[in-house]
Amino acid sequence: MSKPYLRLTHPLVRDGGRLRRATWDEALDRAAAGLRDARDRGGERTYGMFSCSKSTNEMNYIAQKFARSIIGSNNIDSCNRT
């Protein structure tokens, strides 16, 4: 018998090494702050984007546009070339 899959029903954030329940606003604010911090520390060196060949061309385009324009990184790769 296979193990049942657990699905998160609310976001979790880490506080002092422990996960706790959070609001969506708090979780998204923390994610945005983490991306902003990576960009400010040198996005061209601290950030990379990997996209999937199963994504649409439009999704891959917006992913690379985000990495280049917002983060400032040219570290972009995908499995499209395999």
Tell me: do 52 and 31 sit in the same domain: no
- Range list of H helices, the chain: 24-40, 43-46, 57-65
> How much is the mean pLDDT over the chain?
86
- 49 and 34 in a common domain: no
pLDDT of residue 80: 66
Q: Does a structural domain hold residue 4?
A: no
pLDDT tens for each residue of 21-47:
999 999 999 999 988 888 888 867 888
Between CA 32 and CA 72 the distance in angstroms is 15
Q: Tell me which residue range forms the domain holding 79.
A: 44-82
In a domain, 5, yes or no: no
% the chain with pLDDT above 90: 33
Q: Is the pTM of this model over 0.95?
A: no
Would 60 be classed as within a structural domain?
yes
Give the count of domains, the chain: 2
- The predicted pLDDT at position 1 comes to 60
Q: Note whether 69 and 56 are same-domain residues.
A: yes
* Chain center to CA of 19: 18
